[in-house]
Structure 1
Amino acid sequence: MVRRQYGPARPGATAGLQGPGRGMDDLTPYVAAAIAAADAAADVIRPFFRAAIPADIKADQSPVTVADRNAELAMRAVLNRLCPECGILGEEYGLERPEARLRWVLDPIDGTRAFITGRPTFGSLVALLDGDSPLVGIIDQPVTRERWIGRADAPTVFAGGLGGAIGTRPCADLAHAELSCTSPEMLGSDMARWQLLAARVRRNYWGGDCYAYGLLALGQIDVIVECDLKPWDWAALLPVVRGAGGMLTDWQGNPPRVEGDGRVIAVGDPALLADVVAVLGP
């Protein structure tokens, strides 16, 4: 499969990294900027939810709506104002400032199919990357008003009125695991490998997009295995999952890369990872 090239930002060590006027020893200003971007997206998205808006079909056959486009523009406006030194890569409008070491990665509506069919299992994703390494990640559900905030230097924080508390649950045995995947279509030629894993777990659920990773961070799901994820699909998820006690890797158990193949494993209990990788095979 031919994959789009995203041009990774210049990599480097996180500790002591200096941006204009601020140090990377404290991610708080970037977390505040990410929250502001998520707030801006939510304000755009809410009025469109269940409003029967039309969807266009992009070249990759995925749907897109005016809510996706306008929400990304709102996020970009906030981040360009608060962090003009950073690059921005978004699903709808591509890459700004490719030379920047730090890069915001945005998906205004992850789960557009859920959004256009009135299901509240989509979310807005905001991530900050240093090379391939996500430093900040937010999963925001603007309708249920649930939000997961992950950062490389602190545990994940969750807020929402539907219940739940941050913390993945112990589950070291695949036979007891709850497995999730957004759709069988995304698996393509990897379906047979994925079915080997599905045969080993307690149950499998379809659907969820980024929301499923938030549920994993709340200890509701144990394993998520997916394919064809772009950087804007996984970058925000990694700090959320890691800060809740889990792991997010590629299918070989290595950290995902911007130029990787888009295959992702998330586990709530790190003890599950080796078994998942072994079942999926090389």
Structure 2
Amino acid sequence: MNKNFNYKIYFNFLNLLAKQLTKYYYSKLDKPFKISNKLKGKGYDPVTTSDKAFERFIRKKILDRFPGHQIMGEEYGFKKTKSDFSWVIDPIDGTRSFVTGNPTWSNLISLNYKGTPMVGLANFPKLKKYYLNKDEKNSYLFENGKKIKLNVNSKVSLKNAKIAAAFHGYLSFNKQKKIQKFIKIVNFPCFDALTYAQLAEGRLDVVVQCANKIWDVHAIIPIINAAGGILTTWKNENGKLAGNILASSNKLNHKKILKLLKPAT
């Protein structure tokens, strides 16, 4: 436990912010929006007017309450200060889902202390639920006025594991051919950050994703860790580095999957 870090302040702030974000969505953003492609013809990376509105809303809430803190957001860049505290924001994780009307998109917000993600919020306005950790040992699902403690399915063996993976065109066909043994045991699709949250809930046991940016994964790390899970890169480095990510519900399965993924690293 970090003595300089007061979990309660940030947990309370994010617990309230989750409700404010959902309210903001239904009062202001639940209407037609404009889409543009960030990659301008060299691929497809959509951004909407709603992404930008959400990020402005989140930044204002943080700045009002913690004016000295650093902020890094996907749409509006880095506000640098001398603070040890930095907020990492993905205003809409799953913009493709948002664009097509799938309800699995979320607002992801992480508070990092000296570079380490300490508290994470994954808020799902359309699903009317959110995931948030209270400290290093406790994370919760908040739904229908209930607060449910999250625990990974820590006893599951690899042969009985529910495994979700998505390569999203980021892993070349040649690399995919090298990890056929892994691909053969994948039995569930991925739905944005919701898939990671479902691992924390014990609904899935292994999640493998490619090309995560820091704002895709930082909020998820403390939620999964506090639920008893493990999250690293495919090279078994600290998950906060982002990139290709593996999350598992126990160490043994994590080691086995790292081995299966190794030919593609």
TM-score over 0.5 (shorter chain): yes
- 2:225 pairs with 1:275: no
- 2:222 pairs with 1:222: no
Cα distance in 2, alignment partners of residues 182 and 52 from structure 1: 29
Structure 1 unaligned residues grouped into runs of 5+ = 1-13, 18-23
Number of the residue aligned with 1:7: none
Counterpart of 2:150 (choices 132, 149, 166) is 166
Contact 2:104 / 2:127 at 8 angstroms: preserved in 1? no
Number of the residue aligned with 1:196: 181
Number of the residue aligned with 1:233: 216
Shift of 1:79: 0.4
If the length of structure 1 is used for normalisation, what is the TM-score? 0.82
* RMSD of aligned Cα (Å): 2.4
Contact 1:89 / 1:104 at 8 angstroms: preserved in 2? yes
Counterpart of 2:33 (choices 53, 57, 61) is 53
Larger mean CA deviation between 110-119 and 35-44 belongs to 35-44
Q: Per-residue displacement from partner, 1:151-192 (whole Å, max 9, x unpaired)?
A: 443310111149976211135432222121345324346433
Shift of 1:34: 2.4
SS of the residue corresponding to residue 124 of structure 1 reads: strand
Cα distance in 1, alignment partners of residues 179 and 223 from structure 2: 24
Amino acid of the structure 2 residue aligned with 1:155: N
Shift of 1:92: 0.6
Cα distance in 2, alignment partners of residues 161 and 226 from structure 1: 30
- 2:99 pairs with 1:116: yes
SS of the residue corresponding to residue 103 of structure 2 reads: coil
Q: 1:183 to 1:254 in 2, by over 3 A?
A: closer
- 2:20 pairs with 1:16: no
- 2:250 pairs with 1:266: no
Q: 1:98 to 1:89 in 2, by over 3 A?
A: same
Contact 1:38 / 1:126 at 8 angstroms: preserved in 2? no
Cα distance in 1, alignment partners of residues 254 and 164 from structure 2: 15
Shift of 1:131: 3.4
Query: Normalized per residue, which structure has more helix?
Result: 2
Contact 2:123 / 2:129 at 8 angstroms: preserved in 1? yes
Q: 1:254 to 1:179 in 2, by over 3 A?
A: same
Aligned residue pair count: 257
SS of the residue corresponding to residue 110 of structure 2 reads: strand
Structure 2 unaligned residues grouped into runs of 5+ = none
Contact 2:154 / 2:228 at 8 angstroms: preserved in 1? no
Q: 1:195 to 1:208 in 2, by over 3 A?
A: farther
Amino acid of the structure 2 residue aligned with 1:35: N
If the length of structure 2 is used for normalisation, what is the TM-score? 0.87
Q: 1:88 to 1:105 in 2, by over 3 A?
A: same
Amino acid of the structure 2 residue aligned with 1:187: L
Shift of 1:121: 0.9
Number of the residue aligned with 1:34: 14
Number of the residue aligned with 1:177: 161
SS of the residue corresponding to residue 171 of structure 2 reads: helix
Amino acid of the structure 1 residue aligned with 2:257: V
Amino acid of the structure 2 residue aligned with 1:156: S
Number of the residue aligned with 1:255: 238
- Report sequence identity in percent: 25
Shift of 1:239: 0.8
Cα distance in 2, alignment partners of residues 86 and 269 from structure 1: 34
Contact 1:183 / 1:207 at 8 angstroms: preserved in 2? no
